[in-house]
Chains A and B, each alone.
Chain A
Amino acid sequence: MSDQGSQAEIVRKSLKRRYRKERRFRAYGILAIAIALSALVVLFTDIISKGYTGFMKTTITMEVELDGEMMYLDDATDERQLKMADFVEPLLQALIKQVPGATQDDKDAVRELLNPYASIELRNLLEVHPEWLGSTQAVTVLAHTDVDVYAKHAGDDAYSIKLDERQQRWVDQLMEEGVVQTSFNDVFFTSGDSRDPSRAGVLGAIVGSLLTMFVTLILSFPIGIAAAIYLEEFAPQNRFTDFIEVNINNLAAVPSIIFGLLGLAVFINLFGLPRSVPFVGGLVLTLMTLPTIIISSRAAIKSVPPSIREAAEGIGASKMQVVLHHVLPLAMPGMLTGSIIGMAQALGETAPLLLIGMVAFIVDVPTGFFDSATVLPVQVFLWAGSPELAFIERASAAIMVLLAFLMSMNALAVWLRKRLERRW
C-alpha cells in the first residue's frame, strides 16, 4: 500500500511541472497565431500608410486670362491653330500674379511648379469652350510632381524634396491661400501609365486585367467543369484515368513561372501569337488555373448524394441526363465558388505574365484582346521598381485597388457558398 501511495505522491509532485509545460505549450500556440496575425496587420498598415497619399493629387487653381494675342490664337474652333497656340504663357502669367513677390524674372522657377501636362489640360478646356478666348476664367490644372511630393510629404525624410527653398516658401503660401490644393486623385483612375507620377493611373492596367480575366474565365470555367464531370462521372477505372489525375494534381503544384515558359515557347514562339497581349495572358492563366477549378469542381460533384443519381436513373434518365439535369445544377454553387477563388488567384498572378512580355511600358488603355496591355499586379511591379518615391506611393495605391478587387471576389465566393450551397 505504501508503495502505491508513494507513486501517487510522485505523480502529484510532477503535476505542477506538467501543468506548467501544458501552459507553455498553449502559449506557444497563441504566440504563433499572434506572429501570423501581426504580420498581416503590419503588412496592411504598411501598405495603407505608404499608399493612401497616392489617392490624392495636387492641383493649382487660378484666374487665367485667356488673351488671344499672348497665345497666338484668334479662333479657338480652329484645330490647327489650337495645335500651334501657346498655352503655357497664360498659365505662367496667372501663376506669377498669384505667387507673392514673384516677377517676370522668376518665370523659370514658377514654371517648375506647373505640370508639363497643364498646358494640354488648358487646351482641352478651350477646345470644349471656344468662347472662353479673350475672357478670364478660373482654371484648375495639375501641379508639378515635385510640388505634389512637397505638398503631401513635406517634413518626411524618406522623400527627397526637389523644390528649392524659395519655391517651397511659395508653395507654402499658395497652399494657405488655397491656390494649391490636394484633392481626390481622379487622374489615378482615369488614365494609363505615364513617366510622370502625377499623371500615372491604373485604368490601363485595370482594363488589361479585365480583358485577361475575361479570356481566362471563358476558357477555364467550361473546360474545368467538363473535365471534372468526366473524371467524376464517366472516367473508367484504368491507368489512363489515373495518369490524368496525377497530371492534374501535379500541375496544381507546378510553379507559376513554368507556365510562363510554356506560354513563351508554345504560344509566342511556336504559334507566332503577339507578345504582351491579354489574349495570350488569358491562355497562360487558363492553363494555370484549370487544375484549381477542376479539383474544386470535383469536390462539388462528389458532395451531391448518390440518392439523387439513383432516383434520376430509376425513372429512366440516361447517364448524361442524370449528370446534366440533376448533378450539375446541384453542384453548381460549389463549382462557382471554386472558380471564383481560382480567378482571384489568376488576377493576382504576376510571374508568368512577365515572361510573355506584359511588362512593357504602355500608356494607352487597351481596347481589345490583341492590344498591348499590362495587368494590375504587373503595374504594381513596374512602379515598385522605380527609384522615384512618388511611384512607390502609386504602387501602394494600386496594391490597395488590387486587394479591393480580390477581397470583393472572395467575399462573393463566401456569400455564394453560404447562400446557395445545400447541406445534405
Chain B
Amino acid sequence: MQASTLLLLTIVLALVAYGLGYSRSRSLAMPLGGIRHLKSLPFYYGARAALWCLIPGLLVLAFWAAFQGKVIQTLIIGSLPPDLLPSGQGQASLLLSKISNVASGALPAGFAEPPIVEAAERLKALRQQSQVYMNALVISVTVLAGFLGWVRIRPRVNARVQVEAILKWLFFGCAALAIFTTMGIIFSVAFETVRFFERISFIEFFFGTNWSPQTALRADQVAAQGAFGMIPLFTGTLLISAIAMVVAVPVGLLSAIYLSEYANKKVRGVVKPLLEMLAGIPTVVYGFFAALTVAPFISDLAASLGIEASSQSALAAGGVMGIMIIPFVSSLSDDVINAVPQTLRDGSMALGATQSETMKKVIFPAALPGIMGGVLLAVSRAIGETMIVVMAAGLAANLTANPLETVTTVTVQIVTLLTGDQEFDSAKTLAAFALGAMLFLATLVLNVVALKIVRKYREQYE
C-alpha cells in the first residue's frame, strides 16, 4: 500500500471511530435517561475518539515516510562490499542513484557490476519490507488508539473540554510551524556554510574580488581550485537593485501621491487594480520580457548611439525589476500617506498652501519614515529577486558600475550552482549555501529594520 492510500485509510478509520464513539455515548446514555445526562453532546465523544485515532496514526505515518528513505540508503551503503564503499558523499549519492536505477529497471542489470545488482535486489526487498512494516504499524497504532479512545467513553467524562484542548494544541502547533520554518532555514544554510568555510577562508569569501566557482572534475586537473570572492556578486546585486530602485521609487511614489491626493474615485477604481496587476504577474514573465525584449532593445539602442552595451546588460534586468516593484512601492506609500491625519492637511490648506505645497512640505515629511520603511522592504525584495536576473543578467562576475555591462548577482549564482547534477559536498554547492546565508541575513536585517520603522511610524499617529 502506498503512503497516500494509507493516509486515506487512516482517515477512514478515524471516521469509523467517530461513528462508533458517537453511538457508544448514546447507548451509554440510554440507561441514564437520554443524552441529557452525558457531560457533553455525543458529537464530542465521537470527535474525541476520532482525534485519538487520527493523531497518533498520522504522526507515525509522517515519521516513517520522512525517514524511511534515509534509513534504507544508509543500510544499502553499509551492506556494500568494502572495495565498493564510497569515499565521499558525492560518490555515495552517485552509487545510490545507480543502484536505484537498476532496481527500477531504468538501467538493465547487465550493465552494472554484480554487487550493484545485488544491492539493487536488497533495495527492492528493503523497500517492500519498509512498506509492510509501515502499513502494519500505522494500522495497528490507529486501531489501538481508536479502541482506547472508544473504551474510555464514559458519561461523566467531559469530552468537549478534551476535544477543545486537543484542537487548541493543534492550532498552536500550526502557528508554531512558522518558528520551525525559520529554524529550518537557519539550520539548512548554517550547516553547509560552516562546511564551506572549512575549505575556503573567510577572507577570500568576503574580500576576494574574483568569482569563478569552476572546480575540477578530476583532482589532477589544472586549476582544481575555483575562486570564491563574493565582492563582484555583491556589487552586481547592488547595481541591479539600485537601477530597480531608480525606476520604482519615483514612479511608485508619485503615482501613489496622485492616486491618494488628486485622483477621483472613478480614476482610482480603474488605475489601482491595473497597477496591482503588475504585482500579480509572475517573475518568470518579467524575466522573459527583460531577456528577450528589453535587453536586445537596449543593446541595439546603445549600438545606434555608438556606445557598446552587453546583450545581457544590468540596465535591462534592473529596469524590468523596477517595473515589477512599482506596485509594491506605490501600495506601501499609499497606506502611509493615507495614515497621515487629515488635520495636518486641513491646517496646511487653511494657511493658504496649495495642494502640492501641502504634499511636499507637510505630508511628505510626516510620512517620510513610513515611506523609507517601504523602500527598504522594496530593496530587500530586489536583492532576493531571482527569475528576472537568472534570465536577463549574465553569469560573468564583472566588478563594474557600468549599467551597460553584464553583471551577475547572488541569486543567479545560487541557481546556477545548484541546478543540474552536482556532488553535494563540493565547494561549489556549499558556496551556494554560503551565498544563501548571506542573502538571508541581508534581507532579514532589512526586513526587521523596515518593519520596525513602519510600525513605529504607525503608532505615532494612532
Contact = CB atoms under 8 A, between A and B. Distances in A.
Contacts of A266: 184, 188
Contacts, number: 267
A271 B439 contact: no
A303 to B, nearest CB: 17
B384 A254 contact: yes
Contact of A29 (B164, B192, B262, B444): B262
Given A37-B271, A227-B175, A244-B175, A318 B355 contact: no
B396 interface: no
Contacts of B385: 255
B354 A36 contact: no
Contacts of B359: 25
A395 interface: yes
Given A250-B448, A265-B192, A255 B181 contact: no
A415 interface: no
A253 B380 contact: yes
Contacts of B350: none
B410 to A, nearest CB: 9
Given A39-B323, A234-B172, A399-B288, A290 B424 contact: no
B95 interface: no
24 contacts: A18-B357, A21-B357, A29-B259, A39-B326, A46-B293, A222-B174, A227-B174, A230-B172, A247-B179, A247-B181, A253-B443, A254-B443, A258-B384, A258-B439, A262-B184, A270-B70, A287-B181, A348-B281, A355-B415, A355-B419, A378-B284, A381-B387, A384-B292, A392-B292
Contacts of A402: 282, 285
Contact of B287 (A294, A319, A355, A384): A384
Contacts of A318: 160, 164
B285 A380 contact: yes
Interface in B160-207: 160, 164, 167-168, 170-172, 174-179, 181-182, 184-185, 187-189, 191-192
Contacts of A349: 282
A244 B179 contact: yes
Given A227-B171, A250-B182, 11 more contacts: A32-B255, A33-B254, A33-B258, A37-B275, A40-B278, A254-B185, A351-B390, A355-B414, A355-B419, A399-B284, A403-B281
Contact of A257 (B168, B178, B384): B384
Contacts of A43: 281, 285-286, 289, 323
B141 interface: no
Interface in A140-168: none
Interface in A21-50: 21-22, 25-26, 28-33, 35-37, 39-40, 43, 46-47, 50
B251 A36 contact: yes
A244 B173 CA distance: 11
B208 interface: no
B188 A265 contact: yes
Contacts of B354: 18-19, 21-22
B151 interface: no
Interface in B135-171: 160, 164, 167-168, 170-171
B172 to A, nearest CB: 5
B440 to A, nearest CB: 5
Interface of B: 4, 66-70, 72-73, 160, 164, 167-168, 170-172, 174-179, 181-182, 184-185, 187-189, 191-192, 250-255, 257-259, 262, 271, 274-275, 277-278, 280-289, 291-293, 323, 326-327, 330, 352, 354-357, 359-360, 377, 380-381, 383-387, 390-391, 411, 414-415, 418-419, 424, 432-433, 436, 439-440, 443-444, 447-448, 451
B427 to A, nearest CB: 17
A396 B391 CA distance: 14
A351 B387 contact: yes
B147 to A, nearest CB: 26
Contacts of A231: 175
Specify the main secondary structure of chain A where it touches its partner.
helix
B182 A247 contact: yes
A318 B161 CA distance: 9
A32 B254 contact: yes
Contact of B257 (A29, A229, A247): A29
A235 B176 CA distance: 11
Contacts of B352: 11
A395 B288 contact: yes
A377 interface: yes
B258 A26 contact: yes
Given A32-B255, A244-B179, A249-B451, A403 B278 contact: no
A254 B386 CA distance: 12
B277 A40 contact: yes
Nearest to B270: A37
In order of increasing CB-CB distance, the 10 nearest A-B pairs are: A255-B384, A29-B258, A348-B282, A272-B69, A265-B188, A32-B254, A25-B356, A230-B171, A351-B386, A226-B174
Nearest to A400: B285
A26 B448 contact: no
A272 B359 CA distance: 58
Interface in A349-385: 349-351, 354-355, 357, 359, 369, 377-378, 380-381, 384-385
B73 A272 contact: yes
A181 B160 CA distance: 70
A137 interface: no
A47 B168 contact: no
A261 interface: yes
Contact of A32 (B160, B164, B181, B250): B250
A196 to B, nearest CB: 21
A355 B384 contact: no
A257 B386 CA distance: 7
Interface in A220-251: 222-224, 226-227, 229-231, 234-235, 243-244, 247-251
Contacts of B182: 247, 250-251
Nearest to A399: B285
Contacts of B171: 226-227, 229-230, 234
Given A21-B354, A39-B278, A223-B177, A320 B391 contact: no
A403 B282 CA distance: 8
A347 B259 CA distance: 30
A344 interface: yes
A255 B70 contact: no
Q: Which of A50, A254, A257 has the most CB of B within 10 A?
A: A257
Nearest to B319: A39
Given A29-B255, A348-B282, A262 B188 contact: yes
Contact of A248 (B70, B170, B178, B252): B178
Contacts of A265: 187-189, 191-192, 433
A88 interface: no
A378 B391 CA distance: 12
B175 A272 contact: no
A227 B414 contact: no
A222 B280 CA distance: 24
B291 A384 contact: yes
Q: Which of B172, B278, B424 has the most CB of A within 10 A?
A: B172
Given A35-B251, A40-B274, A47 B384 contact: no
